[in-house]
Amino acid sequence: MSARKVMLLGEIGVGKSSTVQRLVFNRFEFDYKPTIGVDVYRYEIPATAERAHTSLIVWDTDGNFGDTIFKHVYMKEAAAAMIIGDLSRPQTLETMVNLANGFRDALPGRHVSLLLNKSDLVRSPDAVEMPAGFDRLKIVPKFTSAKSGQNVETAFVEAAEAIERRGH
Amino acid sequence: MDTNGLQPKSTARPAPLVAAATLLSSRNVYGLIWVDQSLYVTATYGPLVNFVDIGEPMTSSVPVFVGLESEILQLKESHGALLDLPIASIVTAAGATPKLNFTALWSFEEDAFLILVSRAGQVSNVELELSRQIRARLIAEAEVTHKSKALTKANIELERANRDLEEFASIVSHDLKAPMRQLRYMIEDLRSGAEGGDSAPLPIKTLKGLHDVQCQSQRMSEMLTSLLEYCSAGRKDEVAGIVDTEALVSAIVRSTPRPAGFSIQTTGLWPQIETLQAPLDLILRNLIDNAIKHHDSDQGSIRLACADAGDKLEIEIEDDGPGIDPRHHVAVFLPFRQINTGERAKIGHGMGLAFVKRWVEAAGGQIRLQSNPAEVRGTCVQITWPKLLIS
């Protein structure tokens, strides 16, 4: 069994904690509780014919870290980053671009997923204009909703598979 | 007392410190984890670390150290080195630990790694609420910043679009003037040739047609000139100065040509203000001229009033003419729009009020119409003229 460290990154209030709680506990809390410091979650992805059993150690960080997170010991040996934005707040999508670039600079070659969260709050998620630089990341983002559970598990399973393929 | 594990090994340690440590451990203030050189947990001390499984890899129970294994192994190489991981909570399906600080070190005495786990300061409900509110404020501030940026961007684009449009209209009107002039000269040549007997006389109908074409081309040339002036209105680099509005309006009234039956009265307080004199002069002259030109009688009365409203002047130009139907109150301010029919439609090119509106808005003011001929004759043009000019 291998444990892989996955960082949840994104601006304050984009739904990082809600996303990981949906993943681990399959629940959604309407009451907003800010994350203080770091919450470390363990999520087991069972083995299938195509993949080995993987433990994801998901680091839910305080959104206040901003870019300084990349210099923090927390980031050491992270295998992947799940970068989350709030589709209903365009500026959080701009932050996603900065975080993705920052993560790639800090840990080259590691997997990055982009999660466009709160898709349930937007009438036409596909029509939301992405900020400059988003396309250049060359990552197909996933529309997620921590509230409904849409794509949350899929995103983490795909990230685990990508980590497996990359070998780190 | 449940110490849940090993007793301190060294009898040389002072008893009061052991007692204090035991007390703190029992109160969940700290706990200890012993880890061997393969990074397997060999022992724990204190209920705070009850979540740690003995005999399992350290990272199974304490996943905050996943990825930091090499850092921990290096601790052995440098005496007194520490690896600190502050404020983390470990959350599993079974529940969450309190917020904990983790410090790893190599213990030469015990030939093992020691993980000191201490409880981070508990967050009170007040602190949590404060944190919640700070975050809400940060989110709101980020929203405002983003919207402000978007607005600035939209304004810049709008200004550019307006500038492009004005330049386009200016270029087109300028370039069209030359061929229009040529057309007029050609018609004049044709007419003078026909009238001078150089060739066979033209039929009356043809001569009339040439005359009409000449009039229309003359009108189009004038319209092009007006369009050029309209495009440049409000763009002149005039410097604001102190203007005595009472003296200004008196001079305008004295110098405005009008039929004998027309009277112009000024009322209210016309103060001295710092403003651009030329546009204010042009606006008042145009509006008085308009009131006279579009009047349906040889006799009429025009009233100019001004009131000081703090940082602005409220100016009114009122006449007793036929009035403007409310349906046309927007259209009359558009370039080349005339709402008159018949003979009165031939007066000007429909640019007067368009110019006035453009000048007023360029100065940061506003213009409105009060008129409803169905109820009462007359039109009142109200202008809000700022005392402080916008940049």
Q: Is B283 exposed, middle or buried (0-12, 13-18, 19+ CB in 10 A)?
A: buried
Residue B169 has pLDDT above 70, yes or no: yes
Residue with the bigger pLDDT between B122 and B285: it is B285
**What is the distance between the alpha carbons of residues B144 and B159, in angstroms, rounded to a whole number?**
22
Phi, psi (rounded to 5 degrees) for B329? -65, -25
pLDDT band at A18 (very low <50, low <70, confident <90, very high): very high
Nearest to A72 by CA among A7, A12, A25, A138: A7
Identify which of B86, B128, B132 has the shortest CB distance to residue A37: B86
CA dihedral B129, B135, B139, B145 (to 10 degrees): 120
Nearest to B35 by CA among B22, B27, B26, B44: B44
Write down the mean pLDDT value for chain B.
Answer: 83
Write down the mean pLDDT value for chain A.
Answer: 88
Provide the token pair at A140: 């197909």
Question: Which residues in A lie closer than 8 A to residue B60 (C-beta atoms)?
Answer: 3
Residue A34 has pLDDT above 50, yes or no: yes
Count H helices and E strands in chain B, helices first. Answer: 8, 13
Residue B194 has pLDDT above 60, yes or no: yes
Residue B9 has pLDDT above 70, yes or no: no
Question: Which residues in B lie closer than 8 A to residue A57 (C-beta atoms)?
Answer: 63, 66
Least confident of A90-104, B31-45, B146-160, B195-209: B195-209
Interface check for B73 against chain A (CB to CB < 8 A): the answer is: no
Identify which of A36, A63, A90 has the shortest CB distance to residue B123: A36
Mean pLDDT of A112-124: 94
Provide the token pair at B366: 């506003």
User: pLDDT tens digits, residue range B114-124?
Assistant: 999 999 876 67
Identify which of A12, A76, A90 has the shortest CB distance to residue B135: A12
Question: Which residues in A lie closer than 8 A to residue B63 (C-beta atoms)?
Answer: 3, 40, 42, 55, 57
User: pLDDT tens digits, residue range B126-144?
Assistant: 777 777 777 778 778 877 8
Mean pLDDT of B180-208: 78
Question: Which residues in B lie closer than 8 A to residue A63 (C-beta atoms)?
Answer: 135
Residues 33-72 of B with CB under 8 A from A: 59-60, 63-64, 66-68, 71
> What is the pLDDT, as a whole number, of residue A168?
63
pLDDT band at B67 (very low <50, low <70, confident <90, very high): confident
Radius of gyration of chain A (CA): 15
**Quick one: DSSP state of residue B291?**
H
User: pLDDT tens digits, residue range B214-265?
Assistant: 888 887 877 777 777 776 666 555 677 889 999 999 999 998 888 889 999 9
pLDDT band at B3 (very low <50, low <70, confident <90, very high): very low
Question: Which residues in B lie closer than 8 A to residue A76 (C-beta atoms)?
Answer: 67-68, 71
Residue B75 has pLDDT above 60, yes or no: yes
Q: How far is CA B255 from the centre of its chain?
A: 43
pLDDT band at A63 (very low <50, low <70, confident <90, very high): low
Mean pLDDT of A95-120: 94
Interface check for B132 against chain A (CB to CB < 8 A): the answer is: yes
pLDDT band at B177 (very low <50, low <70, confident <90, very high): confident
Residue B10 has pLDDT above 70, yes or no: no
Please report the ipTM that was assigned to this predicted complex: 0.82
Mean pLDDT of A39-54: 88
Nearest to B332 by CA among B290, B302, B299: B290
Q: Give the other-Cβ count within 10 Å of B25's Cβ.
A: 22
> What is the pLDDT, as a whole number, of residue B103?
93
Q: What percent of chain A has pLDDT above 90?
A: 59
> What is the pLDDT, as a whole number, of residue B4?
47
Identify which of B63, B139, B146 has the shortest CB distance to residue A90: B146
Q: What is the value of pTM for the model shown?
A: 0.57
